[in-house]
Amino acid sequence: MPEPLSGAGAPHASRRLRPHAGAMTSTQSIVIYPPAEDGGRRVRMGERFVGMAYGLLDIVEFLRLAGLESTDETWVRQSGSIEWRGGGPDMWEH
């Protein structure tokens, strides 16, 4: 299992993620899938699954690694750029 990233509040974000060569574009879709049995939600950006999120801070970290430096939990909750499947930003249980 990948080692968690150290630092600012995304304990489940995985070290295997690599930042994009360029900044993420606004046309790239962001999809958060329904919670799995353990409460984690798969996160896809464009055509690529980037990890399993166990809370909003994990999603913020995935977006930051993809080049969206100015995102925060409020942006993730309110953004029309994120497609939430199987429940919105407050749904983390199966």
Domain ranges of the chain: 1-14+28-94
Burial class (CB in 10 A: 0-12, 13-18, 19+), 73: middle
pTM (predicted TM-score)? 0.72
Block means of pLDDT (10 residues each) for the chain, 94 residues, are 46 48 60 96 96 97 92 95 96 90
* pLDDT tens-digit series, residues 15-38: 444 444 444 445 679 999 999 999
Structural tokens at position 53: 């999120």
